């Protein structure tokens, strides 16, 4: 049987089955039950914040955060153009407009130096995305936000446990969101979380995710809300995952160390960085092909696939997608476009073994060397 290494897979190595069976035995399988509350409390402690509100996915978490902050029609929210589409979509759900920001060449995150030139009277806030597990350089972002009266949302879907200057992501902005999709560092299958230290924002998120019901008057709905709740079964899986969070993060960083050791001398590749102020949790170990590589990115990925190695490309920049092209017709995003055209996510998950990484690296290096020899 041909060897196959997937780009991602969940690692269910703790109490997941035991907790789920407890839910089934107790019949508490919907959005009420002890695991929801326990998971929320544990995740708040994990992030170093006062409040965590579970919900049914990461996109919903972003929508709730924006609604709680009062974002509405024709407001503007600055977002990185190099991100998953959910970041921009959640802004659009509110009737607002995402304003796209180009990337930093090194971290691939939103470039704080480009924020102020995009601020207008309609700008309400900034969403930063800790892309592929490396935190954003938050200090200049927070400084700009404070001077201009803007909120800051951290989209930490890909960065559970990452740190900026020793402080965990999720505790740096006004409010933050996480995804627990099956390929994330911590998973509930599908699920999300909103975290904050702000009492009013926390109460607003809770009300919005529960159909808008008044917390002091059952079945009285003073506002229009949403059914955005997480189930007790999902929370049970999440709590078990969170109990092993240190292990999950350690394993991701160990996998990354194997990649660094084997790829650092391979010509034609730019490897991910870990800035001196950051702890990168490597949701994906990603590489960028240099301009001089004679094979295209998709050709390299296809060659890896032939050897049983699944990869995936970087996200399309938001400004290139049909729904958002008209919002950025006059802008130029050279860094993000270059990264998106040449970036590859290599297999990255906690269950990978060193021999798996050896196999991936040998295959990638061989493909690049063979391409150079064919031309010479």
pLDDT value of position 331: 78
How buried is 167 (Cβ within 10 angstroms: 0-12 exposed, 13-18 middle, 19+ buried)? middle
What does the pLDDT average to over 284-304? Answer: 93
pLDDT of 166 above 90? yes
pLDDT of 286 above 70? yes
pLDDT value of position 109: 98
Q: How far is CA 350 from CA 71, 84, 150, 281, in A?
A: 37, 22, 37, 11
Could you give phi then psi for residue 288, rounded to 5 degrees? -120, 125
pLDDT of 128 above 70? yes
The fold adopted by the segment(s) 16-101+109-243 is 3.40.640
pLDDT value of position 17: 98
Domain with CATH 3.90.1150.10 in the chain: 245-375
How buried is 325 (Cβ within 10 angstroms: 0-12 exposed, 13-18 middle, 19+ buried)? exposed
pTM of the model: 0.96
What does the pLDDT average to over 278-290? Answer: 97
Q: And the tokens for 51?
A: 């409040």
pLDDT value of position 372: 67
Percent of the chain surpassing pLDDT 70:
98
CATH number listed for the domain at residues 245-375: 3.90.1150.10
d(CA 304, CA 345): 12
What does the pLDDT average to over 10-39? Answer: 96
The string of pLDDT tens digits covering residues 171-210 is: 999 999 999 999 999 999 999 999 999 999 999 999 999 9
pLDDT of 215 above 60? yes
The string of pLDDT tens digits covering residues 360-374 is: 999 999 999 887 655
pLDDT value of position 319: 96
3-state DSSP of the chain: CCCCECCCCCCCCCCHHHHHHHHHHHCCCCCCCHHHHHHHHHHHHHHCCCEEEEECCHHHHHHHHHHHCCCCCCCEEEEECCCCHHHHHHHHHCCCEEEEECECCCCCCECHHHCHHHCCCCEEEEEEECHHHCCCCHHHHHHHHHHHCCEEEEECCCCCCCEECCEECCCCCCEEEEECECCCCCCCECCEEEEECCHHHHHHHHHHHECCCCCCCCCCCCCCCCECCCCHHHHHHHHHHHHCHHHHHHHHHHHHHHHHHHHCCCCCEECCCCCCCEECCCCCEEEEECCCCCCCHHHHHHHHHHCCECCEECCCCHHHCHHHHHHCCCCCCHHHHHHHHHEEEECCCCCCCHHHHHHHHHHHHHHHHHHHHHHC
pLDDT value of position 326: 86
Q: Which one is catalytic: 2, 50, 184, 279? A: 184
pLDDT of 140 above 60? yes
Q: And the tokens for 205?
A: 């998120």
pLDDT value of position 9: 97
d(CA 230, CA 52): 12
| Active-site annotation holds for 2 | no
d(CA 333, CA 33): 47
pLDDT value of position 230: 98
Domain with CATH 3.40.640.10 in the chain: 16-101+109-243
C-alpha 349, offset from chain centre:
15
Model confidence band, residue 258 (pLDDT cutoffs 50, 70, 90): very high
pLDDT of 34 above 90? yes
User: For all residues of the chain together, what is the average pLDDT?
Assistant: 96
pLDDT of 25 above 70? yes
């Amino acid at each position: 049987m041909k060897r196959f290494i997937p780009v991602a897979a969940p690692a269910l190595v703790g109490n997941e089955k035991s907790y789920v069976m407890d839910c089934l035995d107790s019949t508490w399988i919907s959005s009420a039950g002890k695991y929801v509350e326990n998971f929320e409390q544990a995740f708040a402690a994990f992030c170093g914040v006062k409040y965590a509100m579970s919900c049914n996915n990461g996109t919903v978490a972003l929508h709730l955060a924006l609604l709680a902050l009062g974002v509405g029609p024709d407001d503007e929210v600055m977002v990185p153009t190099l991100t998953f589409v959910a970041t921009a979509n959640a802004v659009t759900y509110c009737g607002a407009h995402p304003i796209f920001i180009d990337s930093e060449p090194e971290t691939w995150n939103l470039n704080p130096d480009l924020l102020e030139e995009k601020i207008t009277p309609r700008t309400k806030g900034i969403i930063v995305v800790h892309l592929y597990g490396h935190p954003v350089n938050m200090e200049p972002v927070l400084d700009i936000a404070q001077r201009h009266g803007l909120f800051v949302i951290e989209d930490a879907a890909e960065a559970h446990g990452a740190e900026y200057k020793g402080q965990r992501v999720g505790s740096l902005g006004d409010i933050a969101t996480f995804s627990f999709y099956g390929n994330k560092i911590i998973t509930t299958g599908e699920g999300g979380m909103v975290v904050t230290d702000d009492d009013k924002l926390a109460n607003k998120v809770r009300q919005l995710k529960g159909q808008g019901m008044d917390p002091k008057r059952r079945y009285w709905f003073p506002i229009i809300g949403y059914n955005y709740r997480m189930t007790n079964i999902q929370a049970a899986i999440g709590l078990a995952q969170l109990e092993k969070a240190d292990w999950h993060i350690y394993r991701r960083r160990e996998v990354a160390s194997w990649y660094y050791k084997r790829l650092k001398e391979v010509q034609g590749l730019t490897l991910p960085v870990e800035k001196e102020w950051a702890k990168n949790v490597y949701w994906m170990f990603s590489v960028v092909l240099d301009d001089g590589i004679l094979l295209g990115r998709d050709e390299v990925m296809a060659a890896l696939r032939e050897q049983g190695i699944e990869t995936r490309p970087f996200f399309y920049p938001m400004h290139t997608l049909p729904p958002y092209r008209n919002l950025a017709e006059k802008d130029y995003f050279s860094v993000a476009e270059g990264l998106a055209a040449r970036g590859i996510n290599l297999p990255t998950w906690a269950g990978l073994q060193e021999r798996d990484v050896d196999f991936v690296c040998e295959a990638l290096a061989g493909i690049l060397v063979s391409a150079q020899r064919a031309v010479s």
